[in-house]
A and B are shown apart, each in its own frame.
Chain A
Amino acid sequence: MQFYRSHVLVCGGTPCILKGCKAVRDALIDELKRRGLDEEIRVVETGCLGPCDLGPVIVVYPEGTLYERVQVGDVPRIVEEHLLKGRVIPSLTGEGRLAGVVGYEEPTYLASQERIVLRNCGIIDPSSIEEYIARDGYRALGKCLTEMEPLDVIEVVRQSGLVGRGGAAFPTGLKWGFTANAESEQKFIICNADEGEPGTFKDRLILEGDPHNILEAMAIAGYAVGASCGYVYIRGEYVLSIERINEAIEQAKVFGLLGEDIFGSGFSFDVQVVKGAGAYVCGEETALIESMEGGRGEPRIKPPYPGTHGFLGKPTVVNNVETLANIPPIMLNGAQWYRGFGTSKCPGTKVFTMIGDINSKGLIEVPMGITLRRVIYEIGGGIPGGRDFKMAQTGGTSGGCLPREMLDVPMDYFTLPEVGSALGSGALLIMDDSHCIVDIAESFMRFFVRESCGKCVPCREGTARLHDIIRKISQGNGTYEDLRLIRDLSHAMQGTSLCGLGQSAPVPIMTMLKYFKDEFEAHIKNRLCPTGTCRL
């Protein structure tokens, strides 16, 4: 094994690719070669580091210096000054929250987080199984296969308190237990990577940055429930994720970490990738299965649940990417260790994607129960332009919208529903006071109108009607009767829709009516848009 005196990590997540990190990486490699440094300094393309808006981002180790917004033109200077002469270039270390992250420690931006799921993202080369293994990769699988009975594995997951991170927060151990108890020759593990919630891109970046983590977790799940076959159902647009996971599958097979008789335990497990075709509803587990079987992307009637009647009618575990990403560390460190993070009712961490009017957009992982205020003002660097915070939508487009008074509500799967919202997939959309609530509501509903599969009446007809009514209000033609109708319709949709799409589509509107009623009334009574957004 070759040793290097420095490693330059180039963030290769999709957001950084869009900002030109590939050219920066190539320029770095060329420059190092030109100066004859390529034997002592290694350039590593990693997965996402998190501060997506500051890309392309590179980190020089062992110092841990983070350079942001690096351009090809900056490369000769970085090599000359930092890598050759050992002098940090302050002008490239950014301003504000990332400024001056120099020294033999992690950047403070990362230090304020708790990285379990993202432990390898931005650290290792995701194309290298060796780097994953070097960070304890596949040790958890080895431990499960050689030291533990399947039921013990499920018991540890159950005790860890892990709940599904796709949004429904169903206890993962319980879910595995249903499938483990189901009698069947064939069972399946499906990793749900059909991430479609607007503003959510965590699963994509986890898969891009640490694909082996997911494969290891799926194999553990397979061992626990008695499945020998796994599928990763990925959004077709996630080209890089698909490439990385396929690459990882091949590597794991070569290493004997997937395939027949893993670790000589007699347990065999294979993983295949299935590409989704772009329907939001296919993130719903039964619609996902329907789509995998070649059917129209539509949810099925539940019960029966996939745990007993899933893919091809066989018992099937469907777990979100982030849920699975927690499994190897839990198995390695134990349930009690995991319960040390987050809250007692909702242990662990949550990966959030921060978007909207916030200084730092990107990916973070923080303990469950953190408040909005800390995320926005400590980690996210606050609202740009000194504007006032107006609302945050938690959980993606199907989540609730919370006003300033809710900034100190702990964000976890149990507390947010109490105030009418949801943690959902972890998308955090921050909006400043320049936005009109009615206008935003209209745009949210437009999404659901497009994405309703059209199967059940309340969602098929209801989403379109909610959109119509809100548009009517935004055009200054609304009445108080319309507000009542919104409430009536929302209740029927929440209570009777066939799947989570229709049940949660009214959630943002309901919370807006609860917390920003004045603004709706201004549009109706005064035919006035307080922010001047709507053209009345």
Chain B
Amino acid sequence: MAMVTIDGRKVQVDAGATILEAADKLGIDIPTLCHHPDLEVQAVCRICVVEIEGEKLLQPACAFPVRDNMVVHTTTPAVRHARRVNLELILAHHPTDCLQCIRNRNCELQSLAERLGIREIRFEHKLRGLPLDESTPSIVREPDKCISCRRCVAMCRDVQAATVLWPVGRGADVVVAPACERDLADAACALCGQCIHACPVGAIAERDDTDRVFRALADPNKHVVVQTAPATRVSIGEELGFPPGRIFTGKLVAALRRLGFDKVMDTDFTADLTIIEEGNELLKRIKEGGPLPLITSCSPGWIKFGEHFFPDLLEYVSTCKSPQQMFGALVKTYYARRAGIDPKDIVSVSLMPCTAKKFEADRPEMASSGYQDVDIVLTSRELGRMIREVGIDFRSLPDDEHDAPMGISTGAAAIFGATGGVMEAALRTVYEVATGLELPNIDLEEVRGLEGIKEAEVMLGDVKVRVGVAHGLANAKTILELVRDKEREYHFIEIMACPGGCVGGGGQPIPTDMEIRGIRGNALYEADRLLPLRKSHENPAIKQIYEDFLIEPLGEVSHKLLHTHYTQREKYPGTQDACD
């Protein structure tokens, strides 16, 4: 323990704590910019500098460890002066068109300038005029807005193990970008969008597809349907002013109807369907002796990451499409036939917590209905903007229900949005299908929670099934290397690209940090607990679609519509071309 005096007040903190942490304990909120609670300390913005007695220079509170009897001053004239100069330097190199920025009113730089009362920037305003990177369907990079805080670098390297974003160049010309300042499309980027959550400003954002949706909704010749992903109902409230952790399924459905969607259906339905298909795939592989482990395929960020970094392991990945793509294929076949609508007139929209879903929907193989199965993907943030733009009073909306039958789902589908949820949902079904017995304990606590890698063992009759769960691509990498090196044997692995699972997806409301990811995940488990049906195979709409249309799991129709294949991609795309 160390006794520290900050601004004349004493506090006892753990030895090794930073000044920032000590100040926080005293209720002193030292301004920061490049600091992020979930990421490695950067200490590059030099906004949080403080004066320490006995130290010649000002020191960053975020990085400097406390010593016993240290005396710190956080608001001396020297500190305030240095902070302002450093902030002015950043602002003089950053666009000032805040009104047009996607992060307007949700920007840490803007808030900081307001907080420090910056009324004048004494340096000449200069922008670099760097081009936008709109090379992917998921993410737009605007390097001119980048303040080189390097949070995305830490996120991409440490949390997501992709190391796509990196400082390029030197001095004031430094820009955070893929190597050689290439476009994201030319890098081994999973398009998970976690960099967006790391970014304090608007330098990285989702591609905005709201206008395409508004145009489809306004077209009388189009039948516009929307599916809502499990993790969006728990996050949409945050976009509309509610604190994290509240589930708004009913209001979400109502809001989508008000926006003019012809049918509001639920990805939870195809989440249940995924469990049936993937569960049977697992049982088949166990019976036939492999290839094992079976690895889940719901997370398109993980799929793209795997294609780049683990192309040798793709045979283990489930051939099941993600729930979004199963849904898309069924909307333009099963649903179109039932509703008597020509599938060419259907616009299939999905509401997703995810930026990688935009890329997934655009994959050329995702057209098994004869049309692109999903036409437009909206993230939670985009839908939030649409609801605000139209002026729907979310708070006072009634609770509506999803349209049947592709809106009927179980608690197993609800927990798809949290890490471990797919695994838990699958085991609920697989156990009962394999053993014919009822699962003794439906809540599989071992695979819940924010531990990076979780493991469990379940007896399926006389087979001991060993499962693993990883969320965040660095954890995924760890578990996949264990598999590749045959250091650990699993039967079934769930991988979600984003920390916390889909509740922490790259398309979720900003801020999304570990604490919020946990709150959202817990809310989903709570929703599951309260539902009458909590096992996918008990979903009556699922039983019906097999009777009416799919005939049997892993059957011919399923094979055509619900299963897919993967593409081997390079770890260093295009490295035969030297950097310019």
Binding site for B on A (CB under 8 A): 279, 296, 301, 303, 449-458, 460-465, 468, 481, 485, 488-489, 491-492, 494-498, 503
Contacting residues of chain B (40-59) with chain A, CB-CB under 8 angstroms: 41, 43-47, 49, 57-58
Which residue in chain B gives the minimum CB-CB distance to A485?
B122
Please tell me which one of the listed residues B46, B47, B167, B170 contacts residue A452 in the complex, with CB atoms under 8 A apart: B170
Extra contacts, 8 of them, besides A452-B172, A496-B58 (Cβ < 8 A), are A301-B60, A457-B44, A457-B89, A458-B89, A489-B89, A492-B86, A495-B57, A496-B82
Please tell me which one of the listed residues B64, B90, B172 contacts residue A464 in the complex, with CB atoms under 8 A apart: B172
A497 contacts which chain B residues (CB < 8 A)? Answer: 46
The complex places the Cα of A492 from the Cα of B81 at a distance, in Å, of: 7
- Do the beta carbons of B43 and A498 come within 8 Å of each other? yes
B171 contacts which chain A residues (CB < 8 A)? Answer: 449-454, 460, 463-464
- Do the beta carbons of B57 and A496 come within 8 Å of each other? yes
The complex places the Cα of A451 from the Cα of B78 at a distance, in Å, of: 27
A503 contacts which chain B residues (CB < 8 A)? Answer: 57
The complex places the Cα of A301 from the Cα of B81 at a distance, in Å, of: 22
| B49, B64, B78, B171 interface centre (most CB from chain A within 10 Å) | B171
Please tell me which one of the listed residues B44, B58, B82 contacts residue A455 in the complex, with CB atoms under 8 A apart: B44
The complex places the Cα of A452 from the Cα of B124 at a distance, in Å, of: 20
The complex places the Cα of A503 from the Cα of B60 at a distance, in Å, of: 14
| B49, B86, B90, B124 interface centre (most CB from chain A within 10 Å) | B86
A-B contact count (CB 8 A): 103
- Do the beta carbons of B169 and A495 come within 8 Å of each other? no
The complex places the Cα of A279 from the Cα of B170 at a distance, in Å, of: 10
Which residue in chain B gives the minimum CB-CB distance to A467?
B172
In the complex, the 9 A-B pairs of residues with the closest C-beta atoms, listed nearest first: A454-B174, A492-B85, A461-B89, A464-B172, A452-B171, A496-B46, A492-B82, A495-B58, A456-B44
B466 at the interface (CB under 8 A from A): no
- Do the beta carbons of A498 and B57 come within 8 Å of each other? no
The complex places the Cα of A301 from the Cα of B40 at a distance, in Å, of: 12
The complex places the Cα of A494 from the Cα of B45 at a distance, in Å, of: 14
A296 contacts which chain B residues (CB < 8 A)? Answer: 166-167
Least Cβ distance of A302 to chain B in Å?
9
Least Cβ distance of A320 to chain B in Å?
21
The complex places the Cα of A468 from the Cα of B63 at a distance, in Å, of: 31
- Do the beta carbons of B173 and A498 come within 8 Å of each other? no
B232 at the interface (CB under 8 A from A): no
Question: Could you pull out 20 A-B pairs where Cβ atoms are within 8 angstroms?
Answer: A296-B167, A301-B43, A303-B64, A455-B174, A458-B82, A460-B148, A461-B93, A462-B85, A463-B172, A465-B92, A481-B122, A489-B85, A491-B81, A492-B85, A492-B86, A495-B57, A495-B58, A496-B46, A497-B46, A498-B43
Q: Mark B13-47, 1 if CB is under 8 A from A, else 0.
A: 00000000000000000000000000001011111
Binding site for A on B (CB under 8 A): 41, 43-47, 49, 57-58, 60, 63-65, 78, 81-82, 85-86, 89-90, 92-93, 122-124, 148, 166-167, 169-174
Please tell me which one of the listed residues B78, B90, B122 contacts residue A495 in the complex, with CB atoms under 8 A apart: B78
A452 contacts which chain B residues (CB < 8 A)? Answer: 170-172
B64 contacts which chain A residues (CB < 8 A)? Answer: 303
Interface of chain B, helix or strand or loop or mixed? loop
- Do the beta carbons of A454 and B85 come within 8 Å of each other? no
Which residue in chain A gives the minimum CB-CB distance to B149?
A457
The complex places the Cα of A452 from the Cα of B78 at a distance, in Å, of: 24
Least Cβ distance of B150 to chain A in Å?
8
The complex places the Cα of A489 from the Cα of B45 at a distance, in Å, of: 15
B41 contacts which chain A residues (CB < 8 A)? Answer: 301
A462 contacts which chain B residues (CB < 8 A)? Answer: 85, 89
Least Cβ distance of B285 to chain A in Å?
41
- Do the beta carbons of A454 and B89 come within 8 Å of each other? no
The complex places the Cα of A481 from the Cα of B86 at a distance, in Å, of: 18
Which residue in chain B gives the minimum CB-CB distance to A297?
B170
- Do the beta carbons of A468 and B124 come within 8 Å of each other? yes
Which residue in chain B gives the minimum CB-CB distance to A502?
B46
A463 contacts which chain B residues (CB < 8 A)? Answer: 171-172
Given contacts A301-B43, A303-B65, contact A457 B174 (CB under 8 A): no
B174 contacts which chain A residues (CB < 8 A)? Answer: 453-455, 460
| A279, A461, A464 interface centre (most CB from chain B within 10 Å) | A461
B90 contacts which chain A residues (CB < 8 A)? Answer: 457, 461
The complex places the Cα of A468 from the Cα of B173 at a distance, in Å, of: 14
The complex places the Cα of A454 from the Cα of B175 at a distance, in Å, of: 9
Least Cβ distance of B561 to chain A in Å?
48
Which residue in chain A gives the minimum CB-CB distance to B123?
A465
B43 contacts which chain A residues (CB < 8 A)? Answer: 301, 456, 498
- Do the beta carbons of A451 and B81 come within 8 Å of each other? no
Which residue in chain B gives the minimum CB-CB distance to A459?
B171
Least Cβ distance of A525 to chain B in Å?
20
- Do the beta carbons of B82 and A454 come within 8 Å of each other? no
A491 contacts which chain B residues (CB < 8 A)? Answer: 78, 81-82, 85
A453 contacts which chain B residues (CB < 8 A)? Answer: 170-171, 174
Least Cβ distance of B472 to chain A in Å?
23
- Do the beta carbons of A449 and B57 come within 8 Å of each other? no
A465 contacts which chain B residues (CB < 8 A)? Answer: 89, 92, 123
The complex places the Cα of A460 from the Cα of B86 at a distance, in Å, of: 10
- Do the beta carbons of B170 and A461 come within 8 Å of each other? no
The complex places the Cα of A497 from the Cα of B123 at a distance, in Å, of: 18
- Do the beta carbons of B170 and A457 come within 8 Å of each other? no
- Do the beta carbons of B89 and A301 come within 8 Å of each other? no
A495 contacts which chain B residues (CB < 8 A)? Answer: 49, 57-58, 78, 82
B123 contacts which chain A residues (CB < 8 A)? Answer: 465, 468, 485
The complex places the Cα of A460 from the Cα of B93 at a distance, in Å, of: 11
Which residue in chain A gives the minimum CB-CB distance to B170?
A454
The complex places the Cα of A458 from the Cα of B45 at a distance, in Å, of: 8
- Do the beta carbons of A496 and B86 come within 8 Å of each other? yes
The complex places the Cα of A124 from the Cα of B261 at a distance, in Å, of: 89
| B58, B90, B124 interface centre (most CB from chain A within 10 Å) | B58
Given contacts A449-B171, A450-B170, contact A458 B93 (CB under 8 A): no
Which residue in chain A gives the minimum CB-CB distance to B59?
A496
The complex places the Cα of A455 from the Cα of B124 at a distance, in Å, of: 21
Least Cβ distance of A281 to chain B in Å?
9
B92 contacts which chain A residues (CB < 8 A)? Answer: 461, 465
- Do the beta carbons of B46 and A457 come within 8 Å of each other? yes
- Do the beta carbons of A498 and B172 come within 8 Å of each other? no
The complex places the Cα of A488 from the Cα of B81 at a distance, in Å, of: 8
Least Cβ distance of B147 to chain A in Å?
8
The complex places the Cα of A453 from the Cα of B63 at a distance, in Å, of: 20
B124 contacts which chain A residues (CB < 8 A)? Answer: 468
Please tell me which one of the listed residues B46, B148, B169 contacts residue A458 in the complex, with CB atoms under 8 A apart: B46
B58 contacts which chain A residues (CB < 8 A)? Answer: 495-496
Given contacts A449-B172, A454-B174, A456-B44, contact A488 B57 (CB under 8 A): no
- Do the beta carbons of A457 and B86 come within 8 Å of each other? yes
The complex places the Cα of A450 from the Cα of B93 at a distance, in Å, of: 17
The complex places the Cα of A468 from the Cα of B125 at a distance, in Å, of: 12
